[in-house]
A and B are shown apart, each in its own frame.
Chain A
């Protein structure tokens, strides 16, 4: 029935076995985020469900934060780490403003975030970051990160629990990858529609995604926030 191996002892009564406890500081609070860069705008969208395993902690905890009129950051993963990392970024931006009398540009924040993440290379922030905003020329910019600071500017990126569901859809609909059809610049409304469809679909299949969707729209006029419902099951 059960195979035995050298040293194994089979008994007919319960035994106690030492359980190894290790320092386990990370928790995955789930959720999905995405950001898409347009010609003169940028979208940063994230669901608002915060979970732990099969439980929901809250239906409305925003994952995105407005850093300035030109820059929004969104983070997924361990919410505690995301929260503190956001505060660190905001403080650094405040010091920059004190020293230089102006707001940090999106590219400068992007570089700084990479440095901040790598400074904790050996006890990382468990944060999947996406930085969205307008660059110095007014064009949309999206910067993607891994938890230790590797970063890259892209045209669109999705991160979090449903990223593997949404990213291929974005590759197809935003970047027209592997298609013969004509590439065209998408308008802001088209991108917002694609974003909403991405999240409603992800909500269907990913248990960690749902409740509400918050979309930050960054244009030269500033940052506007839209909120819509997602399925709550």
Chain B
């Protein structure tokens, strides 16, 4: 797959009609730890598995607040994520200043797409090495969840997952997705935690240090749930594990 003669820069096509640099950028997203997003009609929940480089190190932040009505979960190069989140924050503030209303999620995601595309067509640049899950609640159109990738594709989803072993999470989400519309925020969080748990390695488990949840929705500003506040949800996940054992077994397919 690698070491082609057509993969040295972004502005070289391969004879098969591929831009290899973009595909390599997508690899960077796949190497990041998992992030999961799902939504109902009124709420969006983003969850992420936080990695730490060692026992003594802190866990890398994966969820960022963009505005009261919007937040993102990332997978991939955190430094690129910082640049993009600063861009999103600035644009939200500019939009509020100009039009006296919160930035619509779809509009901001289009701007990210355009920004990402520029890096795929200019010589000497490189694509962003980060995938974003953008959750936003717009007053007039409701809850939205978008996936933004380095290939500049920005698609809207009901539920999605990116990062390492994200296919396992996707399989779980696909099974229950038809229920999400009518589920309340806490219900979405529990489904999200189940999905996130699927992405863990055999000997690992979700705990208050490596897990992060973000919620935004109708009459609910973006809220980050981390640390001790996760206890209630993680306990519920443990006690509910028995009933969903069969479900988890089926979802555990080979990666």
Consensus secondary structure, chain B interface: helix
Cβ of A232 under 8 Å from chain B: no
Residues of chain B within 8 A (CB-CB) of A95 are 89
Interface string of B210-239 (1 = CB under 8 A from A): 000000000000000000000000000000
Residues of chain A within 8 A (CB-CB) of B165 are none
Consensus secondary structure, chain A interface: helix
Cβ of A91 under 8 Å from chain B: yes
Cβ of B194 under 8 Å from chain A: no
| B214 CB to nearest chain A CB (Å) | 13
Interface string of B190-225 (1 = CB under 8 A from A): 000000000000000000000000000000000000
- Which residues of A in the span 59-79 have a Cβ within 8 Å of any Cβ on B? none
Q: Is the CB of B93 within 8 A of A98?
A: no
Cβ of A87 under 8 Å from chain B: yes
Q: Is the CB of A87 within 8 A of B65?
A: no
Residues of chain A within 8 A (CB-CB) of B93 are 91, 94
Q: Is the CB of A98 within 8 A of B97?
A: no
| A101 CB to nearest chain B CB (Å) | 9
- Which residues of B in the span 66-80 have a Cβ within 8 Å of any Cβ on A? none
Interface string of B11-37 (1 = CB under 8 A from A): 000000000000000000000000000
The number of chain B residues touching the other chain, given as a range, is under 10
Residues of chain A within 8 A (CB-CB) of B97 are 87, 91
Looking across the interface, which residue of chain A has its beta carbon closest to that of B65? A98
Residues of chain A within 8 A (CB-CB) of B65 are 98
Residues of chain A within 8 A (CB-CB) of B89 are 94-95, 98
The number of chain A residues touching the other chain, given as a range, is under 10
Interface string of A89-106 (1 = CB under 8 A from B): 001001100100000000
A192 to B93, CA, bound (A): 36
Residues of chain B within 8 A (CB-CB) of A94 are 89, 93
A98 to B68, CA, bound (A): 11
Residues of chain B within 8 A (CB-CB) of A98 are 65, 89
A42 to B67, CA, bound (A): 29
A87 to B93, CA, bound (A): 10
A98 to B224, CA, bound (A): 12
A94 to B65, CA, bound (A): 11
| A82 CB to nearest chain B CB (Å) | 15
| B221 CB to nearest chain A CB (Å) | 12
Looking across the interface, which residue of chain B has its beta carbon closest to that of A95? B89
A95 to B86, CA, bound (A): 9
Interface string of B65-108 (1 = CB under 8 A from A): 10000000000000000000000010001000100000000000
A87 to B99, CA, bound (A): 13
Residues of chain B within 8 A (CB-CB) of A87 are 97
| A208 CB to nearest chain B CB (Å) | 27
Interface string of B34-77 (1 = CB under 8 A from A): 00000000000000000000000000000001000000000000
A40 to B173, CA, bound (A): 51
Looking across the interface, which residue of chain A has its beta carbon closest to that of B68? A94
Residues of chain B within 8 A (CB-CB) of A91 are 93, 97
A98 to B86, CA, bound (A): 9
| B53 CB to nearest chain A CB (Å) | 21
| B212 CB to nearest chain A CB (Å) | 13
| B108 CB to nearest chain A CB (Å) | 15
Looking across the interface, which residue of chain A has its beta carbon closest to that of B93? A91
A95 to B97, CA, bound (A): 14
A10 to B31, CA, bound (A): 92
A87 to B94, CA, bound (A): 11
A95 to B90, CA, bound (A): 9
A94 to B102, CA, bound (A): 14
Interface string of A4-40 (1 = CB under 8 A from B): 0000000000000000000000000000000000000
Looking across the interface, which residue of chain A has its beta carbon closest to that of B66? A98
A91 to B65, CA, bound (A): 15
Which B residues lie at the A interface, using CB under 8 A? 65, 89, 93, 97
Which A residues lie at the B interface, using CB under 8 A? 87, 91, 94-95, 98
- For the A-B complex with A87-B97, A94-B89, A95-B89 known, give 5 more contacts whose Cβ atoms are closer than 8 Å: A91-B93, A91-B97, A94-B93, A98-B65, A98-B89
What are 8 inter-chain pairs, A to B, with CB distance below 8 A?
A: A87-B97, A91-B93, A91-B97, A94-B89, A94-B93, A95-B89, A98-B65, A98-B89
Q: Which 3 A-B pairs have the closest CB atoms?
A: A91-B93, A98-B89, A87-B97
